Amino acid sequence: MLIAGISTVAFNANPLLKFDGYYMLMDFLEIPNLRPRATQYLAYLAERHLFGRHDAEPPISTRGERFWFVAFSVTSFFYRILVVLAILVYVGEISFLLGMIFAVMTTTMWFGVPGFKIADYLVNSPRIRRVRSRAMLATGLVVGGLAALIFAVPVPLRTMTEGVVWVPDEGLVRAGADGFVQKVIANPGAWVKKGDPLLEIYDRDIATEVSVLQARLQELEARHREQAVADRVKAQILEEEMGYVRSKLARAQERSEELVVTAKAEGRFVLPRAVDVQGRYLRKGQLVGHVVNIETVAIRAVLPLEDVDLVRGRTQGVNVRLAERLDAPSNAEVVRLVPGASGHLPSPALGTTGGGLLAVDPSDSARQKTLQKFFEIELKLPPEERTLNVGGRAYVRFHHGWEPIGFQWYRSARQLFLSRFNV
């Protein structure tokens, strides 16, 4: 059903292709033979205004029809190119040989045959015999101008991506053990120092284990005092058992100490949803809040593999727009580019399920495992423009100077071939 729906919208019901939607559009606009008449009208415009043939007769049409002739011709041309490219990629992934055959056939039909017809028209058509020289010159200027526009005129070269406001790992407040939040010790928003207690978690199993082991140790110590003189062998056995219980008690007390979450760095304690945090159940390692120092706040952005080379080798400037200040771009500085590719997002907000750009594995309940690898890059904003909104979205733009659009298209096509066809 999904495939049928997509094919209906993209092909059958689309008026830009000559299928059912095309005939529905003709009926709606009340313009019969829309495509051939649009082609004739564009040919008339070229002959009269480009070639200078002032005696050219326009096709019979109304003013409203002329608008639709131009609009339909332009939009349908580019849409057909888009559809053909999508089919080419799909067929090429199934069979590279079939994809190449399809590409050659399409190029021949769309560019070779029309190009031959245009050349024959310019050389042999009696309709433009009196303006043939101007027609050839104008055609050459148009083709040369388009080529120059595409391959000679530089345009801005940029890479766009997204990131989140982040703090170093020591600024992350994570639960040290499973349990319920019993008490919020530090006030949210207060300045804390390294080692200050922030939260207290209660785990009945750990508390019970500590109490039982303490009682067991007291019992063994009492029995050891009784047997110390009466029976040296039993006393030795009790000493060994006491050592075993002490080691278990030490481990249990260590786990009990982990129930008190402490600050790993100095900064301001940020606790989202502080009102309802008490009584909440936390898993060990679950992110609870942050200790934020404005000096260490950074932007952690993700880069698709195809953009890494440009960012690494040709970045001339970086702009960042924070989600809460979209109208105020800030200059940023690249701190580091993580050398290895990753498949785990720093924040679910960067995945498609959170409104981000990278596709997320649907089987991952945390929504942080991506279907494709990516690189992480860390950016730093000027001190006066940093924010305490840890986890907030940031829109990042890397400036790489100027380059003709044709070379940018070539790079994108090359990356497409490398990623899809491995050639």
pLDDT at 239 over 80: no
Q: What integer pLDDT is reported at residue 144 of this predicted model? A: 93
The verdict on 261 and 369 lying in the same domain is no
Task: Residue 351: give its domain's CATH number.
Answer: 2.40.30.170
The verdict on 282 and 309 lying in the same domain is no
- The region that residue 261 occupies, defined by phi over 0 for left and psi between -120 and 50 for alpha, beta otherwise, is beta
The verdict on 202 and 315 lying in the same domain is no
Report yes or no: 314 and 400 within 8 Å, Cβ to Cβ. yes
93 contact partners, CB below 8 Å, separation of at least 6: 99, 420, 421
Comparing 147-161, 253-267, 307-321, which segment has the lowest mean pLDDT?
253-267
The verdict on 355 and 264 lying in the same domain is no
Report yes or no: 378 and 396 within 8 Å, Cβ to Cβ. no
Of 168, 156, 173, nearest in space to 296 by CA: 168
**Residue 203 neighbours by CB distance under 10 Å:** 19
Report yes or no: 333 and 379 within 8 Å, Cβ to Cβ. yes
Last residue of a domain, one of 289, 315, 350: 289
The verdict on 285 and 312 lying in the same domain is no
Evaluate whether residue 404 is within a structural domain.
yes
The verdict on 301 and 414 lying in the same domain is yes
Q: How confident is the model at residue 217 (pLDDT cuts 50, 70, 90)?
A: confident
Q: How confident is the model at residue 40 (pLDDT cuts 50, 70, 90)?
A: confident
Q: Average pLDDT of 295-305?
A: 89
pLDDT at 117 over 70: yes
Q: Average pLDDT of 203-220?
A: 79
Last residue of a domain, one of 262, 289, 316: 289
Q: Average pLDDT of 13-19?
A: 64
Q: Average pLDDT of 70-86?
A: 84
Instruction: Report the domain count for the chain.
Output: 3
Q: What integer pLDDT is reported at residue 17 of this predicted model? A: 67
Q: How confident is the model at residue 423 (pLDDT cuts 50, 70, 90)?
A: low
Residue 138: both structure tokens together: 């104008």
Comparing 59-63, 346-350, 359-363, 372-376, which segment has the lowest mean pLDDT?
59-63
Phi, psi angles (nearest 5°) of residue 345: -70, 145
Report yes or no: 147 and 388 within 8 Å, Cβ to Cβ. no
Q: What integer pLDDT is reported at residue 11 of this predicted model? A: 55
Q: Average pLDDT of 377-399?
A: 86
Q: How confident is the model at residue 401 (pLDDT cuts 50, 70, 90)?
A: very high
Q: What integer pLDDT is reported at residue 147 of this predicted model? A: 93
The verdict on 304 and 375 lying in the same domain is yes
Of 157, 421, 178, 144, nearest in space to 285 by CA: 178
CA separation, residue 96 to residues 151, 410, 423 (Å): 28, 19, 10
**Residue 267 neighbours by CB distance under 10 Å:** 24
Evaluate whether residue 264 is within a structural domain.
yes
The verdict on 238 and 329 lying in the same domain is no
Report yes or no: 292 and 386 within 8 Å, Cβ to Cβ. no
Proportion of the chain above pLDDT 70, given as a percent = 94
Of 322, 319, 347, nearest in space to 334 by CA: 319
Q: How confident is the model at residue 406 (pLDDT cuts 50, 70, 90)?
A: very high
The verdict on 250 and 135 lying in the same domain is no
Evaluate whether residue 76 is within a structural domain.
yes
The verdict on 325 and 412 lying in the same domain is yes
- What is the distance between the alpha carbons of residues 395 and 164, in angstroms, rounded to a whole number? 8
Tens of pLDDT, residue by residue over 154-208, are 999 999 999 998 888 888 888 888 888 888 888 888 899 998 998 888 877 777 7
pLDDT at 385 over 80: no
CA separation, residue 90 to residues 99, 128, 412 (Å): 8, 43, 17
**Residue 195 neighbours by CB distance under 10 Å:** 10
Evaluate whether residue 78 is within a structural domain.
yes
Q: What is the pTM of this model?
A: 0.72
Structural domain containing residue 137: 31-152
Report yes or no: 261 and 175 within 8 Å, Cβ to Cβ. yes
The verdict on 322 and 254 lying in the same domain is no
The alpha carbon dihedral of 60, 61, 66, 72 has a sign of negative
- What is the distance between the alpha carbons of residues 211 and 204, in angstroms, rounded to a whole number? 11
Q: Average pLDDT of 345-354?
A: 86
The verdict on 144 and 191 lying in the same domain is no
